[in-house]
Amino acid sequence: MHVIIIGSGIAGVSFAEKFRSYSADDEITLITRENDGYYSRPLLSRGFSMNDIEQSIILKTFDKLRASGINIISGAEITAINRSDKTVTITGSSQEKSLHFDKLVIATGSSAFIPPPFRPYSELFFCLNSLVDLKALRKFRLGLLNQNRQPDWAIIGGGLIGCEVASDLAFSGDNVTLFHAMDRLMERQLVAEDSALLFDVLQNSGVKVLLDQNVQGFAKQENKVCVKTGVTTEFDALIVSCGFKPRTELAEQAGLEVGRGIKVNQYMQTSDEDIYALGDVAELPNGKLYAFILPIRSQAHWLASFLAGHEKECWTPPVFSTKAKVHGFEAVHPYNI
Ligand SMILES: Cc1cc2nc3c(=O)[nH]c(=O)nc-3n(C[C@H](O)[C@H](O)[C@H](O)COP(=O)(O)OP(=O)(O)OC[C@H]3O[C@@H](n4cnc5c(N)ncnc54)[C@H](O)[C@@H]3O)c2cc1C
């Protein structure tokens, strides 16, 4: 059997390694856009306070994964899933243009969600969703530091990632203003008491937190960028952090059932019985996306065991809670997703 996996995040890599451990004979090919290796996405939000982050974030090189018996095609993109002949189309790879699969695992993750009013200004802001994004942000920041200027940032969005990034930049000595649309921070995850505590921790660390903000758009003025709310405020740079969007395009083009994510049953199986989806991109029958490390690793290990014939019961989500990696903040009430 030839199993193809699309994506080298925790979903794709955890599945590939576990399946390899169960099955010595099946061929496993993982295809990914990435060039830098398998890295820890959660560590991105500590990307400014850790000097060696660009190396320490790498969990495994692709050569190490190859040495464990997984074919890796890196720096390549799957541009189509062809269900009639069970092939995937690959671009950007010198090795293969098309590959046949017996089973396909879509683990394409998610990109940053950009609210429609901000989309015309995509040249004016950064996001922090991948290692490529982090490297671009660090390069920009270093440019200012080398001119003896402490960067002045605006972060748009006071959810989990916006708060973490604001905290890490302030911790690293930068000036940070956080714009949030709602009347309290991380309102989806935290009870009001913890939102208030988080507000105090961020303000005390030097982040200027602005709640109830209606950000209408951005503008460029010489070497500054402006945030427009009713008033216009200038910054060196902006980071938009308004949630995530599952990468469902390939599945949609292939005619698979798609909602917010790629729809799967409790066996992580899409509307095609030979195609599975895992991780940020998978939407379970209860309508949930389990976009956190712990449940994703659980999905990936479960699917490996199921395809190897060891597991008979369907996947059930583990009980888990998550933490905001804001320096000096510990929620009083744990929050479940
Ligand atoms: C800044 C940040 C901080 C976070 N902190 C935490 C935390 O503290 N705790 C926690 O539990 N979770 C955290 N998360 C969420 C967690 O990191 C994600 O849920 C998880 O990484 C998703 O893994 P994934 O494998 O599904 O997708 P991804 O990590 O997005 O991997 C998808 C991969 O697929 C590749 N790909 C996509 N399309 C194609 C294609 N067409 N062809 C080839 N390759 C393709 C991408 O390049 C990528 O390598 C954080 C996320 C971010 C962005």
pLDDT digits (tens, 9 = 90+) for 64-81: 999 999 999 999 999 999
Assess whether the C-beta atom of 110 lies below 6 angstroms from ligand 1. yes
What's the rounded Cα separation, in Å, for the pair 179 and 156? Answer: 5
Predicted local confidence at residue 67, as pLDDT: 97
Assess whether the C-beta atom of 320 lies below 6 angstroms from ligand 1. no
Residue type, 65: L
Beta bridge partners of 58: 39
CA distances from 242 to 99, 129, 154, 158, 333 (A): 36, 11, 13, 8, 24
Assess whether the C-beta atom of 263 lies below 6 angstroms from ligand 1. no
Assess whether the C-beta atom of 296 lies below 6 angstroms from ligand 1. yes
Predicted local confidence at residue 332, as pLDDT: 86
What's the rounded Cα separation, in Å, for the pair 306 and 264? Answer: 15
**Domains defined for the chain, CATH in brackets:** 2-111+244-322 (3.50.50.60), 114-242 (3.50.50.60)
Assess whether the C-beta atom of 14 lies below 6 angstroms from ligand 1. no
Task: Tell me the torsion sign for CA atoms 211, 216, 218, 219.
Answer: negative
Q: Which two tokens stand for residue 1?
A: 């059997």
User: Within 13 A of 205's CA, how many CA atoms are on the CB side?
Assistant: 27
User: Within 13 A of 24's CA, how many CA atoms are on the CB side?
Assistant: 0
Does residue 159 contact residue 240 with C-beta atoms inside 8 Å? no
Predicted local confidence at residue 108, as pLDDT: 98
Residue type, 133: D
From the alpha carbon of 128, which atom of ligand 1 is closest? 1
Residues with Cβ within 8 Å of residue 324, at least 6 apart in sequence: 160, 163, 164, 186, 189, 198, 331
Predicted local confidence at residue 319, as pLDDT: 87
Among 17, 41, 293, residue to substitute to test ligand 1 (most atoms within 8 Å of Cβ):
41
What's the rounded Cα separation, in Å, for the pair 58 and 43? Answer: 10
What's the rounded Cα separation, in Å, for the pair 149 and 178? Answer: 20
From the alpha carbon of 13, which atom of ligand 1 is closest? 25
Predicted local confidence at residue 321, as pLDDT: 79
What's the rounded Cα separation, in Å, for the pair 30 and 13? Answer: 8
Predicted local confidence at residue 337, as pLDDT: 56
What's the rounded Cα separation, in Å, for the pair 67 and 88? Answer: 24
Tell me the whole-structure pTM to 2 decimals: 0.96
What's the rounded Cα separation, in Å, for the pair 69 and 171? Answer: 41
Q: What contacts 24+ positions apart, CB below 8 Å, involve 112-121?
A: 112/240, 112/241, 112/242, 112/243, 112/244, 112/245, 113/242, 113/243, 113/244, 113/245, 114/240, 114/242, 115/242, 117/216, 117/217, 118/156, 118/215, 118/217, 118/218, 118/240, 118/242, 120/217, 121/217, 121/218
Q: Where are the alpha helices (DSSP H) in 220-292?
A: 249-253
Assess whether the C-beta atom of 44 lies below 6 angstroms from ligand 1. yes
What's the rounded Cα separation, in Å, for the pair 201 and 327? Answer: 8
Give the pLDDT of the chain (337 residues) as one tens digit per residue.
999 999 999 999 999 999 999 999 999 999 999 999 999 999 999 999 999 999 999 999 999 999 999 999 999 999 999 999 999 999 987 766 999 999 999 999 999 999 999 999 999 999 999 999 999 999 999 999 999 999 999 999 999 999 999 999 999 999 999 999 999 999 998 999 999 999 999 999 999 999 999 999 999 999 999 999 999 999 999 999 999 999 999 999 999 999 999 999 999 999 999 999 999 999 999 999 999 999 999 999 999 999 999 999 999 999 887 789 999 999 888 765 5
